[in-house]
């Protein structure tokens, strides 16, 4: 399956094992453990892209979990929370660790990206293994 990234910095973070997973909406429940993954910088279907898309590696999907992110308007009264499978993350340390492992600098940066989906984001967190980089 294609796994495309729009931020060029993600290629290096993935290859250095800093970015260890990605979060996607996956509305059709397509991601399954064992799926092959083709990592792309840019979307190969976008033939008119300003920067030419290219594949930078291959891997195997090792784990897929449901992720629910709840963004609170008043973080002082009701802090943000994230649930991955049965695990609940609430502390800023846990949220920062999640964000860093997803290629963001911290939870605040990740929150800004995902809150564009609304007060709650539901999707999948996709992990990989056995990667070969181009």
Instruction: For residue range 56-111, list pLDDT tens digits in order.
Output: 999 999 999 999 999 876 555 557 889 999 999 989 999 999 999 999 999 999 99
For residue range 43-60, list pLDDT tens digits in order.
999 878 888 999 999 999
Amino acid 14: pLDDT: 97
Q: Average pLDDT, stretch 18-34?
A: 96
Query: What is the C-alpha to C-alpha distance for residues 48 and 30, in angstroms, rounded to an integer?
Result: 26
pLDDT exceeds cutoff 80 at 12: yes
Amino acid 111: pLDDT: 93
| C-alpha 60, offset from chain centre | 15
**Does 90 or 31 have the greater pLDDT score?**
31
| Both tokens assigned to 67 | 């992720």
- CA within 13 Å, CB half, 128: 28
Amino acid 24: pLDDT: 97
Amino acid 74: pLDDT: 58
The number of domains in the chain is: 1
Amino acid 77: pLDDT: 56
pLDDT exceeds cutoff 60 at 114: yes
Residues contacting residue 81 through CB under 8 Å, at least 6 positions apart: 69, 70, 88, 89, 90
CATH of the domain at 116: 2.30.130
Domain that holds residue 25: 2-133
Amino acid 73: pLDDT: 63
């Amino acid at each position: 399956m294609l796994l495309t990234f729009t931020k060029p910095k993600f290629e290096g973070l993935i290859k250095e094992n800093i970015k260890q997973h990605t979060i996607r909406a996956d509305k059709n429940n397509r991601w399954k453990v064992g799926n092959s993954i083709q990592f792309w910088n840019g979307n190969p279907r976008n033939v008119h892209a300003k920067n030419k898309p290219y594949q930078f590696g291959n891997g195997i999907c090792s784990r897929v979990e449901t992720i629910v992110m709840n963004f609170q308007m008043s973080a002082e009264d009701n802090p943000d929370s994230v649930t991955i499978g049965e695990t609940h993350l609430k502390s800023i340390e846990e949220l920062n660790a999640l964000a860093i492992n997803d290629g963001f600098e911290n939870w605040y940066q990740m929150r800004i990206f995902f809150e564009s989906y609304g007060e709650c984001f539901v999707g999948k967190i996709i992990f990989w293994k056995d990667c070969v980089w181009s």
